[in-house]
Structure 1
Amino acid sequence: MSELLSPPASTPGLRLSRTQKDLIAGSVGGIAQVLVGQPFDIVKVRIQTAPSGTYKSPLDCAQKLLRSDGPTGFYKGTLTPLLGIGACVSIQFGALEGAKRFFGKRKGDKEELNLAELYTAGAIAGVANTIVANPVEHIRIRLQTQPQPPIYRGPWDCAVALWKMGGIGGVFKGQVSTIWRDGLGYGSYFLAYEYLVQRHIRTKGVKREDIAPIWSVTYGAAAGYALWFSIYPIDVIKSKLQTDHLNPTKRQYKGMIDCATQVWRTSGWKGFTGGLTPTLVRSPFANGATFVAFELAMRGLS
C-alpha cells in the first residue's frame, strides 16, 4: 500500500511527519491552482450570478471585464483565495492521505483501495475542506461581483462587513450547499485521480514517485472534469446563495431547494449551467497544476 500513497515516507533531512508533508505539499498545490485558474473563475462567477442575458458568452463576459477593470480585473479578489485555497487544498490532501492510510492499514498496506474507499476518502477530504473553503469563497465571490466604485476595500474589509451584517452566519453563508458540493464533488475528484494513479502503478510496474509529471497533469485534468460534471448545478446554487442579501427580509432565496426551484422556473436546465464553459476550459489547467505541484512538492520534501 505504501507505493499507492503520495511518496515517499522517509524524511532524513527535514524530519517532517507524513501529515506535515501532506499539508505543506497541499498548500503548494493550492497556490498553483489559484494562480492558474483565477481568471477563468472570475468569469464563471460573474456569469453564474448575473441576471439572465447580461453576457452573451464567456468571451463577452471576459471582454467586458477587461474593458471595465483592465487586465488586473481577472485577478480581482485573488488575495483571499491565494491564502485560503492554499489552506483548503492543504486540508484536502491532509484528510485524503490520512483516510487512505486508514483504509490501507485495514487491508494490510499492500492491496489497492477499491472505488468505494477512494470515493469515501475524497468525500472526507471535501467535507473537511469546507470549514475554510466556504468563508474564503464567500468573500471572494463578494469581491468578484461588487460594482464600481467598490463596496469593499479588500478581503478583510469584506469579512468585517459580513460579520457586522450577519455575524458568524454572514461569514459562513452558503455552508450547507458547500458541504453538499464538496462532499459529493471531491469524492468524484479524488476517486478519478487516485484510481488512475493506482492503475498506472499496476500496469507500468512503477512506484508513485516515478510517475512522470505529464501523467500527474493528465490525471489531474481528468479529475477536474469528474469534479465539475458531478456537482456543477450545486455550485451554481451555492454562488447564488452567497451573493444573495444578508438581511433575511431582503433575501431572494430561502435556501438550496427554494433557489433550485426559482432557477428552474425562470431559466430551466440552462440556469444550472451558467459559466460551465469557462469552468471546463479552466479545469484541466488548474487541476493539472494542483496535482503536479502536490506530487513534486512531496518528492521535494523527501
Structure 2
Amino acid sequence: MDASFIPIPKIINGGIAGIVGVTCVFPIDLVKTRLQNQQVLPNGKPMYSSLIDCASKTLKNEGFFGMYRGSGVNLLLITPEKVIKLVGNDFFRHILKNDKNKLTLPREVLAGGGAGLFQIVATTPMELLKIQLQDAGRSASVDKTAGAEGAVKPQKLSATKIALDLFREKGILGIYKGFRATMLRDVTFSAMYFPLFAHLNAMGKRREGSDQAVFYHSFISGLSAGCVASFSVTPFDVVKTRLQTLHKGAGEQSYNGIVDCFRKVYMLEGPKAFFKGAFCRVLVIAPLFGIAQTVYYLGIAERLLAAVGYETQ
C-alpha cells in the first residue's frame, strides 16, 4: 500500500467491487442458504439432495427471478459492507505498520479481524433480511409437505416490510438479531482471509509502472484465500443462518443462542451438518472475493476521479 492513505478512491472501488461480485454469485448464495437451513422432513428425507437439486427445484418452482430473491437488499447494503471490509483492512494495515513500514503476521491478522468486526454494522441487517427472502420458498414447501396451512407459493415478502415489523416489535436491536454469530463468522473469516490474500498477492507479477499485482493474479489470490477462509468458517455460517431465520418450517427446531444451536445441530443432525452448504459457500465466497479484489485493485475509481480532476496520489 502507498505510504499515504487516500480513502475516497478506495471507498468507491470497494462499492463497485461489492456490487459486481454479488451480482455474479447471488444465485449460488441463495442455494447455500436453503441447504444450510433444511432439516430432515417428517418422511425422513431432506427436501434437497444436492446443490444441483436445490437449484433446479428453485428454478422450476420460482422461476429465474426466484434465484435472485433477496438480491435487492444485498445490493443495497453490499456497498457499505464491502467498503468497510476492504477499506477497513487497508486502513488497519496502514496504521499497524512498524517503524520499518512492515507488517508482522500477528498485526496482519489483527488488521483483518478489525475489518471483520466493524463490517457487522452493515452485514448483520443485510444477512438477516436476505435470509428471510432467500428461505421463504423452502420454508413454505416444508409447511406444505408437513400438512401445515399455507399457500403452495412462498409468501410475498419485502425487505422493507420485514425490517419495519422487526423495528416495531423489538426496536433497532430487531434488525441486529444474530449479530454475535455474524461477528464470530466475519471476524474469523477476515482474520484468515486478508493475511492469506496479501501473501499470495505479493508473489505475483506486478503491473507495469505499479506496485500492484496484475489483475489475474489478484483474482487467483482472492479466489484461493476465499476458498480456504470460507470453508473454514462454514460451521459458524451454518449457526448464523439458523439463528437468523425467523420463520421455521413446520416441525423444525428453534434455537436459544449460539451454544444452544451448536448443541442441537450436533445432537440431532450430527457433525456433518455443520458443513451443510460448504461447497456452495466456497462457490459463493471464492469467486466473490476473487472478483471483488480484482475490481478493487484495478483502480477504476482512480481513473474516474482523475478524469474530473480529483487528486488521488
Say yes or no: TM over 0.5.
yes
Unaligned runs of 5+ in 2: 41-45, 141-151, 306-311
Q: For 1:188-199, what aligned pairs fall within 5 Å after superposition?
A: 188-199=192-203
Which one of the candidate residues 8, 33, 39 is aligned to 1:20? 8
What's the CA shift string for 1:250-301, capped at 9, x where partnerless?
9821100000000000111111011112222233322211100111135535
Report the CA distance between 1:199 and its aligned residue.
3.6
What's the CA shift string for 1:89-110, capped at 9, x where partnerless?
0011221111111012x3333x
State the secondary structure of the residue aligned to 1:281: helix
Which one of the candidate residues 72, 81, 95 is aligned to 2:65? 72
After alignment, is 146-155 or 178-187 more displaced? 146-155
> For the Cα contact (< 8 Å) 2:120–2:186, is it kept in 1?
yes
Go from structure 1 to structure 2 and tell me whether the alpha carbon gap of 1:152 and 1:205 turns closer, same or farther (over 3 Å shift). Answer: closer
Go from structure 1 to structure 2 and tell me whether the alpha carbon gap of 1:179 and 1:210 turns closer, same or farther (over 3 Å shift). Answer: closer
> For the Cα contact (< 8 Å) 1:78–1:140, is it kept in 2?
yes
Report the CA distance between 1:152 and its aligned residue.
4.8
What's the CA shift string for 1:144-163, capped at 9, x where partnerless?
11146444542111211222
State the secondary structure of the residue aligned to 2:96: helix
State the secondary structure of the residue aligned to 1:211: coil
What's the CA shift string for 1:177-210, capped at 9, x where partnerless?
1111111111111111112223447xx7987544
> For the Cα contact (< 8 Å) 2:117–2:183, is it kept in 1?
yes
- 2:261 aligned with 1:274, yes or no? no
Rounded Cα–Cα distance in structure 1 between residues aligned with 2:213 and 2:229: 23
Go from structure 1 to structure 2 and tell me whether the alpha carbon gap of 1:256 and 1:228 turns closer, same or farther (over 3 Å shift). Answer: same
TM-score (norm 2): 0.83
Q: Percent identity?
A: 27
Q: For 1:204-223, what aligned pairs fall within 5 Å after superposition?
A: 209-223=211-225
Report the CA distance between 1:244 and its aligned residue.
4.0
Go from structure 1 to structure 2 and tell me whether the alpha carbon gap of 1:251 and 1:265 turns closer, same or farther (over 3 Å shift). Answer: closer
Rounded Cα–Cα distance in structure 2 between residues aligned with 1:226 and 1:277: 11
Which one of the candidate residues 75, 85, 96 is aligned to 1:82? 75
> For the Cα contact (< 8 Å) 2:189–2:229, is it kept in 1?
yes
Rounded Cα–Cα distance in structure 2 between residues aligned with 1:282 and 1:218: 15
- Residue 185 of structure 1 aligns to which amino acid in structure 2? F
State the secondary structure of the residue aligned to 1:51: coil
Rounded Cα–Cα distance in structure 1 between residues aligned with 2:292 and 2:207: 25
> For the Cα contact (< 8 Å) 1:27–1:87, is it kept in 2?
yes
> For the Cα contact (< 8 Å) 2:92–2:111, is it kept in 1?
yes
Report the CA distance between 1:50 and its aligned residue.
1.6
After alignment, is 55-64 or 160-169 more displaced? 160-169
TM-score (norm 1): 0.86
Structure 2 partner of 1:286: 288
Unaligned runs of 5+ in 1: 10-16
Which one of the candidate residues 262, 265, 269 is aligned to 2:264? 262
> For the Cα contact (< 8 Å) 1:33–1:286, is it kept in 2?
yes
Which one of the candidate residues 128, 136, 145 is aligned to 2:135? 145
Go from structure 1 to structure 2 and tell me whether the alpha carbon gap of 1:88 and 1:174 turns closer, same or farther (over 3 Å shift). Answer: same
Q: For 1:207-246, what aligned pairs fall within 5 Å after superposition?
A: 209-244=211-246
Rounded Cα–Cα distance in structure 2 between residues aligned with 1:206 and 1:268: 52
Structure 2 partner of 1:14: none
Rounded Cα–Cα distance in structure 1 between residues aligned with 2:282 and 2:256: 29
The number of equivalent residue pairs is 282
Rounded Cα–Cα distance in structure 1 between residues aligned with 2:261 and 2:272: 14
> For the Cα contact (< 8 Å) 1:237–1:259, is it kept in 2?
yes
Which one of the candidate residues 82, 105, 126 is aligned to 1:136? 126
> For the Cα contact (< 8 Å) 1:8–1:299, is it kept in 2?
no
Go from structure 1 to structure 2 and tell me whether the alpha carbon gap of 1:26 and 1:199 turns closer, same or farther (over 3 Å shift). Answer: same
- Residue 57 of structure 2 aligns to which amino acid in structure 1? K
Q: Which has the higher helix share?
A: 1
State the secondary structure of the residue aligned to 1:252: coil
Go from structure 1 to structure 2 and tell me whether the alpha carbon gap of 1:176 and 1:267 turns closer, same or farther (over 3 Å shift). Answer: same
Structure 2 partner of 1:167: 171
Go from structure 1 to structure 2 and tell me whether the alpha carbon gap of 1:238 and 1:210 turns closer, same or farther (over 3 Å shift). Answer: closer
